Chains A and B, each alone.
Chain A
């Protein structure tokens, strides 16, 4: 039996307007080499200057990950020769990163696991290269993007843990508003490392896996790699420390061509950037940048509103929805009702319109009002769904829609008696059958009455009036 140890290195693009050390726009997908300047193109004699918002977001993330925050964070040059970086080095952090020795609690299945964070450091992204035949094409729009790397300790065990971690982490950065967490577009990237050993022996030879551009690939690649290493160990073959690439077409990891020399990045202090010492005011703003974190929020949704674990899971997934939910409940709507609407009819309409809740015409006020109209018997649940449709399409309040469409429920017994009489007259045989003891036919009559009323009759009133008239 072997024990496996998984660690992750996650890179996130910080959601700043401009690059880390120059005033170029940090925009994804612009025309090639348009967001470039002498600084990020590595021209001689330029001076990089630290982006205040980007370093602040870095401290916010480190703080949210319970790291020890550096009072004096420093920048280093990581030297390497590859044309994705025109300077021949990347500005990164080594000796004194923004934060270190943190942790995050995540939910894996039904249990909560604490994953230690080794460090959180600030750096710049490299440019994009496209390899075409015997030529390579370079686009430096991404060179110098503000990037934050989060390195975990090898506290995860199997691929599923890593996948759960990434989902939690993605949610965390979205809650904090520091990154959109989109792995497909590369604004969040993940490399993984894994080693195995017989139980009790501790960490083994570490194998790194790259080219993991979705959390699903992370899971599959890690489980494949654990399997592969176990096979080697079974045979007594030595596992070598190496970097492997995930091949998503073949569902396997593959060794990279071996580099002759081990990487030696010759880190040294970046002479052009002074250390950054956060002021008290800066740290106050960092504190203000922290919100209630997803797991805490989920637990509170369960204890304060009586939601089940799955219900709270759904509501807390996006911060906007969790805020929306709480606001609707605060306005008087029943928590489970709000959950039901959000997870069924609202979700359906959002999917149909390919919209997010945030972009839709539904507000917490409108949903709360809709729910209260049902509870007051003003409209039926069925009509409420039609009203919801109109809210989405017409951007109007539910009361206005009901007025305009005449969608108010009829609960006046005298008005309903007219529908009942009409239906009884048209179905004399059925009425006789019911009087003869066939109760099942009552449902048919109720359905007919609802139909005649255009769906507006209050079902409870229909039931009682009908019973009165048929059975006396």
Chain B
């Protein structure tokens, strides 16, 4: 794998990598990619892609309100900072 590909991928994933990590991950990712290359050698023409191995039926939910075990207030408590009921974060505009 090209080093620049890895840097772009890391940036897209919001990961900051130092030189050593880049080296280490570069090797690992290259090995992973080679497995994919092996797989793409197989002729899959005319086969339907399997995105879900176990799920064959539709899984739908009726359009009705559900009460959750976790209350909104409890969820808000997980936020680092609040202002009234807003979650407060540094400006990211």
Residues of A within 8 A of B (CB): 16-18, 22-25, 31-38, 41, 43, 49-55, 74, 79, 81-83, 130-140, 261, 264, 266, 269, 271, 273-277, 279
Contacts and interface: CB of A to CB of B under 8 A. Distances in A.
20 contacts: A17-B64, A17-B65, A18-B63, A24-B65, A25-B65, A32-B86, A34-B85, A38-B70, A49-B60, A50-B58, A79-B12, A81-B14, A134-B91, A135-B91, A136-B88, A136-B92, A139-B87, A261-B12, A273-B59, A279-B58
Contacts of B64: 17-18, 23
Contact of B89 (A32, A81, A135, A277): A135
Contacts, number: 121
B61 interface: yes
A135 B63 contact: no
Contacts of A140: 87
Nearest to A282: B58
Contacts of A82: 92
A276 B58 contact: yes
Interface residues of B, number: 36
Interface of B: 8, 11-12, 14, 51-52, 55-68, 70, 72, 75-76, 78, 83-93
A421 to B, nearest CB: 72
B63 A38 contact: no
A74 B51 CA distance: 9
Contacts of A18: 63-66
Given A23-B61, A49-B60, A50-B61, A130 B66 contact: no
A138 B78 CA distance: 14
A82 B76 CA distance: 18
Contact of B63 (A53, A130, A271): A53
A83 B58 contact: no
Nearest to B81: A135
B14 A49 contact: no
A70 to B, nearest CB: 13
Nearest to A55: B60
A23 B61 CA distance: 8
Could you tell me the dominant secondary structure of chain B's interface residues? loop
Nearest to A130: B86
Contacts of B8: 261
A137 B60 contact: no
Return the 6 tightest CB-CB contacts between A and B, nearest first: A23-B66, A53-B63, A274-B55, A137-B86, A32-B85, A138-B87
Given A38-B75, A136-B92, 8 more contacts: A23-B61, A32-B84, A33-B75, A43-B78, A51-B61, A53-B63, A137-B83, A275-B51
Nearest to A57: B63
A140 B57 CA distance: 31
Contacts of A131: 91, 93
B50 to A, nearest CB: 10
A138 B75 CA distance: 13
A24 B8 CA distance: 37
A271 B75 contact: no
Contacts of A49: 59-61
Contacts of B61: 23, 49-52
A135 B88 contact: yes
A83 B64 CA distance: 27
Given A52-B60, A134-B90, A135-B90, A274 B75 contact: no
A37 B14 contact: no
Contacts of B57: 274
A31 B85 contact: yes
